[in-house]
Each structure stands twice: as C-alpha cells, then as structure tokens.
C-alpha cells in the first residue's frame, strides 16, 4: 500500500493545514504544465495522496490499513479490532455497516498554476525592467463574482440526493446484497443545484479570458530563469483562489554585446596605425558613449576593460560587472606606392635576417610584450 504521508512529505500526526500546505507546494512543483509531461505520474500520486489525507473519513480508513483509492490492495491485517469493520465497510458500501461518506463536494475549488514565457532584450537583463506576457486562462466571472448564479440567487438543495452529494443503491455481490454509493448525477456530487446559472459562466464562476500581465524583471536576471507571480494563474471553479503564474524569461541575442556571467564583451575594429601608435576612440555602451584608449603597440585580440559597465549583480544590486572590448586590427589589403615603400623599408630593416617562423602549440608569452606593431612603431619613429 502506498505511503501517502511519505508522498506529501508530512508526519502521520500532521494537521489538515500542514497537509494542505504540503499538497499545494508539491502540486505546483510537479504540475505537468510547469515541470513537464514526464512528471504527470508524480502529479497523480500527489493528488491521490491528498484526496485521501484531506478527507477525515478516508484518512481514518487509510490509517486503519485500507487504501480508499485501491481497496483491493489493502488487507485486513491493519485492523486493530473488529469494531473498525463498520467504518471500513461504511466507506465502501455507503453506510450499510453504519459508516458515513465524505459528503458533498464543495463548488469552490483552488485554481491551477499557469505557465508563460517572456522574451527580453539584453539591456533589460542588465538594468531590470518590465516584460509583458499574454496568457489565456480562467478568470473570475465579473457578472456573478464567482457565485455561478444569476441575479444573486442561491443554489438549492438537490432533490435527488437531499444535499448529500451521493446516492445509494443496492447491488448483488458474492457476499449477498450490499449498499453502495456514487456521486449524484444531477448535482455532480455538490449536494446543491443551480437553477438559474449565470449566463456568462454557465454556473462555473469563472470564464476563459485572454489578458496581459506585467512581469517585473530583476536586474541581472539570467537567461532561462523562471519567475513566480503569486495568484496570477488560473481562477478555480466557483471563483476559487487563483493559482500562481510562472514565467520563463529568455534573453534575446544583442547585436553589439555578448554576455559572460556579469561581464559584457564587444569587439572593435581599429586601423593598423591606431594599434601601432595608440589612439583614443568612442564606443557605445548601455550607459551611453564612453571613451577608451587603445594603447600603442596593441596586439590583435588584446582587450580594453571598462570597470562597472557590465551586468548588475543579482545579489549585489549596487555592483556591476565589467565591459570588455576586444581589439581587432584591420590590416590594409591595398597599399599605395609610398605606403609599400615604407613597409619594404621596415621589412629590410627589421626582417632581413628572418629565415623561419616560430611554431608552438600555444601562444608565446615573453617578458617583453613588444609584437609586430610595437616594433613597427619603433622603426618608424
């Protein structure tokens, strides 16, 4: 027999509030619309456990050794005495042995959680902001305020089941004639009927609507993060409390910057002369235009870092990462006669003794960082 207390993660002496709280937490966690279809079986287990433990009669029956959801799986080994037989059979056979039933099903039920996705740009991820999602879900019926009835009328007692929510009938079994009970078809187990249902919701207390929801996006949010908006999900039957809305946030690729953790990276192309001689230039950032200095003798893929212009740190909102500019040097493909003469003069002066190229499995690092462009600068100075 399944251990429903273990399924919900509560003690056998747990109160009704503790059981309800555990159920709501797990039903959100394993809801197929949120966790994925692979958790459907786990979601059913949680619901089965709550169905039994939330009902006083079923819980007492379960504690005595029989699973009300699967009576054939249980035995009679868990009965403390034969006096329990009346309660057990009362659950199965609607009071034939003196037991009771769970009673009518409340019309008001809690709503399910909803899932949506939002796409934001990188700037919003850096500074935070508001995203808007459009969801199609159940909302409270405004005409009847969730009551389900027209013109303020009240539901009336079901004449078929006299408000009990179930009907009894006699069936023949191998043990003889026994009384069984089943939900009343007329009132669907509620014990009451709505004679004048609200024309907007047809007695359900909720209507399907499409609405826009503003989502506050925190600064520094990561791609594929999930945000929770309490009570923004589906309104339950009978105007029951709304579930939560979960929003998956995706960050669109940016044309100028790439994110790496809390840092932003960009690539700037500079003329060869700027890399050789050094140069101040202006680049665009999310904080406006900033001036950076390309140092003389700058090598391809050298970087220039601007502190504090990166992404806001999630847990330290007053701090930000860095902006790192990678330098790409543009080597001219066409030279004038005078430019070629200068380059040939440099080659004759600097590379006359060159007979082979250095080859290694990794970039060469020396104490002096002078490369081709810094040596060219020295030669032309």
Looking at the fold, whether 238 and 262 belong to one and the same domain comes out as no
pLDDT at 167: 86
pLDDT at 98 over 70: no
Higher local confidence (pLDDT), 82 or 176: 176
Residues 6+ positions from 148 with CB-CB distance below 8 Å: 107, 141, 155, 194, 197, 198, 201, 203, 204, 205, 238, 239
Looking at the fold, whether 298 and 234 belong to one and the same domain comes out as no
Looking at the fold, whether 273 and 249 belong to one and the same domain comes out as no
Higher local confidence (pLDDT), 361 or 337: 337
Is residue 161 a known part of a binding site? Answer: yes
Position 301 in a domain: yes
pLDDT at 201 over 90: yes
CATH number of the CATH domain containing 372: 2.60.260.20
Is residue 266 a known part of a binding site? Answer: no
Task: Tell me which of 234, 253, 272 is where a domain ends.
Answer: 253
Position 270 in a domain: yes
The Cα 209–Cα 92 span in angstroms is 41
Task: Tell me which of 253, 278, 293 is where a domain ends.
Answer: 253
Looking at the fold, whether 119 and 217 belong to one and the same domain comes out as yes
pLDDT at 7 over 80: yes
Looking at the fold, whether 243 and 295 belong to one and the same domain comes out as no
pLDDT at 363: 58
Pairing between strand 114-120 and 245-251?
parallel
Position 336 in a domain: yes
User: Could you tell me the pLDDT band of residue 373, with boundaries at 50, 70 and 90?
Assistant: very low
pLDDT at 122: 97
Section 337-359 average pLDDT? 79
HEC profile of the chain: CCCHHHHHCCCCCCCHHHHHHHHHHHHHHHCHHHHCHHHHHHHHHHHHHHHHHCCHHHHHHHHCCCCCCCHHHCCCCCCCCHHHHHHHHHHHHCCCCCCCCCCCCCCCCCCCCEEEEEEECHHHHHHCEEEEEEEEEEEECCCCCCCCECCCCCCEECCCCCCCCEEEEEEEECCEEEEEEEECCCCCCCCEECCCECCCCCCCCEEEEEEEEEEEECCCCCCCEEEEECCCCCCEHHHECCCCEEEEEEECCCCCCEEECCEEEEEEEEEHHHHHHCEEEEEEECCEEEEEEECCCCCCCCEEEECCCCCEECCEEEEECCEEEEEEEECCCCCCHHHHHHHHHHHHHHCCCCCCCCCCCCCCCCCCCCCHHHHHHHHHC
Looking at the fold, whether 248 and 285 belong to one and the same domain comes out as no
Looking at the fold, whether 220 and 266 belong to one and the same domain comes out as no
Higher local confidence (pLDDT), 110 or 348: 110
pLDDT at 39 over 60: yes
Domain range for 109 is 103-155+194-253
| Among the ranges given (18-22, 74-78, 198-202, 281-285), the one the predictor scored with the smallest mean pLDDT | 74-78
Section 299-304 average pLDDT? 90
Looking at the fold, whether 246 and 117 belong to one and the same domain comes out as yes
pLDDT at 235: 94
Looking at the fold, whether 375 and 311 belong to one and the same domain comes out as yes
Position 226 in a domain: yes
pLDDT at 25: 87
DSSP string covering 96-111, please?
A: TTS-----PPPS--PP
Average pLDDT over the chain reads 83
Position 43 in a domain: no
User: Could you tell me the pLDDT band of residue 75, with boundaries at 50, 70 and 90?
Assistant: very low
Is residue 184 a known part of a binding site? Answer: yes
Looking at the fold, whether 237 and 299 belong to one and the same domain comes out as no
pLDDT at 360 over 50: yes
Position 6 in a domain: no
Looking at the fold, whether 227 and 297 belong to one and the same domain comes out as no
Do the beta carbons of residue 262 and residue 313 sit within 8 Å? yes
Q: How do residues 111-122 score in pLDDT, each as one tens digit?
A: 999 999 999 999
Do the beta carbons of residue 297 and residue 369 sit within 8 Å? yes
Section 203-232 average pLDDT? 94
The Cα 191–Cα 55 span in angstroms is 17
Position 74 in a domain: no
Looking at the fold, whether 228 and 319 belong to one and the same domain comes out as no
Is residue 298 a known part of a binding site? Answer: no
Task: Tell me which of 219, 253, 287 is where a domain ends.
Answer: 253
User: Could you tell me the pLDDT band of residue 339, with boundaries at 50, 70 and 90?
Assistant: confident
Section 68-92 average pLDDT? 46
Position 332 in a domain: yes
Question: What's the domain count of the chain?
Answer: 2
């Amino acid at each position: 027999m399944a251990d429903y207390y273990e399924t919900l993660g509560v003690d056998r002496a747990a109160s009704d509030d503790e059981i309800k709280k555990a159920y709501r937490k797990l039903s959100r966690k394993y809801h197929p619309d949120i966790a994925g279809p692979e958790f459907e079986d786990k979601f059913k287990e949680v619901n089965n456990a709550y169905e039994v433990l939330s009902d006083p009669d079923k819980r007492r029956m379960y504690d005595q050794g029989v699973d009300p959801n699967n009576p054939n799986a249980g035995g009679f080994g868990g009965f403390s005495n034969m006096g329990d037989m009346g309660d057990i059979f009362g659950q199965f056979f609607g009071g034939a042995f003196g037991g009771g039933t769970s009673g009518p099903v409340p019309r008001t039920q809690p709503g399910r959680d909803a899932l949506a996705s939002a796409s934001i740009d990188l700037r919003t991820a850096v500074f935070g902001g508001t995203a808007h999602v459009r969801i199609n879900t159940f909302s409270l019926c405004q005409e009847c305020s969730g009551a389900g009835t027209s013109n303020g009328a009240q539901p009336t007692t079901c004449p078929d089941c006299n408000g009990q929510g179930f009907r009894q009938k006699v069936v023949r079994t191998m043990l003889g004639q026994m009384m069984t009970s089943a939900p009343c078809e007329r009132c669907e187990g509620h014990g009451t009927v709505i004679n004048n249902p609200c024309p907007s919701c047809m007695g359900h207390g909720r209507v399907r609507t499409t609405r826009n929801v503003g989502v506050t996006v925190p600064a520094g949010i990561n791609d594929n993060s999930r945000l929770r908006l309490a009570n923004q999900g589906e309104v339950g039957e009978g105007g029951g409390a709304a579930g939560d809305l979960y929003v998956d946030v995706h960050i669109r690729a940016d044309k100028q910057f790439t994110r790496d953790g809390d840092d932003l990276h960009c690539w700037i192309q500079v003329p060869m002369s700027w890399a050789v001689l050094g140069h101040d230039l202006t680049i665009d950032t999310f904080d406006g235009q900033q001036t950076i200095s390309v140092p003389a003798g700058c090598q391809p893929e050298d970087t220039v870092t601007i502190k504090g212009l990166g992404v806001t740190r999630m847990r330290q909102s007053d701090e930000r990462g860095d902006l790192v500019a990678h330098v790409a040097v543009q080597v001219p493909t066409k030279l004038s006669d005078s430019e070629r003469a200068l380059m040939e003069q440099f080659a004759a002066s600097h590379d006359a003794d060159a007979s082979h190229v250095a080859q290694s499995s990794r970039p060469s690092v020396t104490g002096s960082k002078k490369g081709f462009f810094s040596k060219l600068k020295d030669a032309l100075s």
